């Protein structure tokens, strides 16, 4: 495996020289990428606990796991697709293979939007992105202008609200192939419908959560949480998790052309650092959006107004607060 600079996107990324891999795993002393054909290639480690390298042998659609210290192998925490679910191998996908047709889409602004909260699995009989595309005209006739998708990250179970997500970069394989969500967003934009996705950065689900195998610092017991261990955003070793969160927020905006994020349960996102994670992800998400307008909705049960204060005033920079999301039926 060729050595490369470790900075850049997390996960497996297809490039001109091959497929690059990058994972934060300071707990491990050695990591190998194990491919579906049984071959393995070692990764290099830097001083901050990131493992990285580039393989000239890996191919698009190849599945892989990371083997830690010559023992058990686990899926990639930043997997782009889990074709067999959260306990299966990760799959290499080419992010540049999809041809978009929304080049003139300007994005959305908050004023005047009629938002429909949509659960992909329950919205149609098939429960897929492609089936949902067939219903976009109905939603538009209904007066909807902005679709808010409940969490779509890979999680266990056939039916799930999505709040048990454990692979936050991987759209659920239950909803379609690795390009299905792109087709959905592209089709929505062709019909002048915006799309935002519900994300949560206060916890991860219990089943299929392999983060602790890579580092004890992804999660923390320093803060209470209703849904398991809290995300570590301000304690020792939190830099790796902060990068994980910021890259994830940017990933949905940049790669899937979504028009913003609904950040779930911000009252449970604990961050006592000088630069709150909400402000950081807002800044970077707006940067990667380029000329498109995007919105962020901060769900906050306690209605903490700081979530929507401007960034220059030390706030989170959200477009609007939300105490509860109402689903129209």
Cα 218 to Cα 23: distance, rounded to the nearest angstrom: 12
**Collapsed DSSP state (helix, strand, coil) of residue 145:** coil
Q: In this predicted structure, what is the pLDDT of residue 308?
A: 59
Cα 81 to Cα 107: distance, rounded to the nearest angstrom: 26
Domain 11-91 falls in which CATH fold?
Immunoglobulin-like (2.60.40)
Q: In this predicted structure, what is the pLDDT of residue 314?
A: 58
Strand partners, 262: 198, 297
Query: Does residue 7 carry a pLDDT above 50?
Result: no
Band of pLDDT at residue 329, cut at 50, 70 and 90: very low
CATH 3.20.20.80 segments of the chain: 115-322
Q: What is the mean pLDDT of residues 51-60?
A: 92
Band of pLDDT at residue 317, cut at 50, 70 and 90: very low
Query: Does residue 323 carry a pLDDT above 50?
Result: no
User: What DSSP string runs through 252-288?
Assistant: HHHHS---EEEEE-GGG----SSS-HHHHHHHHHHHH
Residue 292 contacts by C-beta under 8 Å, 6 or more apart in sequence?
105, 106, 107, 257, 259
Instruction: Yes or no: say if 55 and 18 are a contact pair by the CB < 8 Å rule.
Output: yes
Instruction: Yes or no: say if 20 and 73 are a contact pair by the CB < 8 Å rule.
Output: no
Query: Does residue 301 carry a pLDDT above 90?
Result: no
Cα 274 to Cα 240: distance, rounded to the nearest angstrom: 17
pLDDT digits (tens, 9 = 90+) for 235-271: 999 999 999 999 999 999 999 999 999 999 888 999 9
CATH 2.60.40.10 segments of the chain: 11-91
Q: Which two tokens stand for residue 118?
A: 């949509």
Query: Does residue 202 carry a pLDDT above 70?
Result: yes
Report the chain's terminal Cα–Cα distance, integer Å: 52
Query: Does residue 53 carry a pLDDT above 50?
Result: yes
Q: Which two tokens stand for residue 315?
A: 């706030």
Q: E strands along 119-267, which residues?
A: 146-149, 153-154, 167-171, 194-200, 219-220, 230-231, 260-264
Q: In this predicted structure, what is the pLDDT of residue 59?
A: 93
**Chain centre distance of CA 19:** 20
Q: In this predicted structure, what is the pLDDT of residue 140?
A: 96
> Percent of the chain scored above 90 by pLDDT?
79
Band of pLDDT at residue 225, cut at 50, 70 and 90: confident
Domain 115-322 has CATH 3.20.20.80: yes
* Active site positions, annotated: 264, 299
Q: What is the mean pLDDT of residues 141-160?
A: 94
What does residue 283 show for φ and ψ, rounded to 5 degrees? -60, -50
**pLDDT, averaged across the chain:** 90
Count Cβ neighbours within 10 Å for each residue of 207-234 and write b for 16 or more, e otherwise. ebbbbebbbebbbbeebebeeebbbbbb
pLDDT digits (tens, 9 = 90+) for 116-132: 999 999 999 999 999 99
């Amino acid at each position: 495996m060729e050595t490369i600079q470790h900075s850049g996107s997390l996960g497996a990324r297809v490039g001109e020289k091959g497929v690059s891999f990058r994972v934060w795993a300071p707990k491990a002393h050695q990591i190998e990428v194990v491919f579906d054909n049984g071959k393995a290639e070692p990764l290099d480690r830097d001083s901050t606990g990131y493992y990285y390298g580039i393989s000239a042998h890996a191919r698009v659609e190849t599945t892989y796991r990371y083997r830690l210290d010559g023992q058990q192998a686990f899926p990639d925490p930043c997997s782009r697709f889990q074709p067999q679910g959260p306990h299966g191998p990760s799959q290499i996908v080419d992010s540049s293979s999809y041809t978009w047709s929304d080049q003139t889409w300007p994005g959305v602004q908050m004023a005047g939007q009629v938002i429909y909260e949509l659960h992909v699995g329950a919205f149609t009989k098939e429960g897929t992105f492609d089936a949902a595309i067939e219903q976009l005209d109905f939603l538009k006739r209904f007066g909807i202008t902005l679709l808010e998708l409940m969490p779509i990250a890979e999680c266990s179970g056939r039916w799930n609200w999505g709040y048990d997500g454990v692979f936050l970069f991987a759209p659920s394989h239950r909803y379609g192939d690795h390009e299905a969500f792109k087709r959905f967003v592209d089709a929505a934009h062709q019909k002048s419908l915006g799309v935002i996705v519900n994300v949560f950065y206060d916890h991860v689900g219990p089943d299929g959560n392999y983060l602790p195998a890579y580092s004890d610092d992804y999660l923390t017991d320093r803060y209470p949480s209703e849904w398991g261990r809290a995300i570590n955003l301000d304690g020792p070793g939190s830099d790796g998790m902060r990068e994980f969160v910021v890259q994830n927020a940017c990933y949905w905006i940049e790669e899937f052309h979504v028009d913003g994020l609904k950040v779930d349960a911000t009252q449970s996102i604990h961050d006592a650092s000088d630069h709150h994670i909400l402000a950081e992800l807002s800044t970077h998400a707006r940067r990667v959006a380029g000329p498109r307008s995007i919105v962020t909705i901060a769900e906050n049960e306690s209605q903490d107004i700081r979530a929507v204060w401007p960034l220059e005033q030390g706030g989170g920079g959200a477009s609007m607060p939300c105490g509860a999301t109402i689903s129209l039926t």
